[in-house]
């Protein structure tokens, strides 16, 4: 799955991740990627948009490592 691979790459680099997702997708991002909801915005018509963050994991790579 693309999300899992993105999380692996972020872990290897030691990066935090941010996703802006439909309110209905929050559970999937939490379950698959360990994302935490930081904010939710309700737009016109009741559409919900969630801001999700996945904390940095791993140590990242040192200069010169591949």
Mean pLDDT of 43-55: 95
- The answer, yes or no, to whether residue 60 has pLDDT greater than 80, is no
Which of left, alpha, beta for 41 (phi over 0: left; psi -120 to 50: alpha)? beta
User: What pLDDT, on the 0 to 100 scale, is given for residue 21?
Assistant: 96
In this prediction the pTM is 0.79
CA 10 to chain centre: 10
């Amino acid at each position: 799955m693309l999300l899992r691979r993105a999380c692996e790459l972020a872990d290897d680099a030691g990066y935090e991740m941010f996703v802006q997702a439909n309110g209905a997708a929050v559970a999937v991002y939490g379950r698959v990627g360990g994302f935490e909801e930081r904010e939710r915005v309700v737009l016109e018509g009741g559409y919900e948009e969630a801001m999700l963050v996945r904390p940095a994991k791993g140590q990242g790579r040192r200069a010169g490592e591949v």
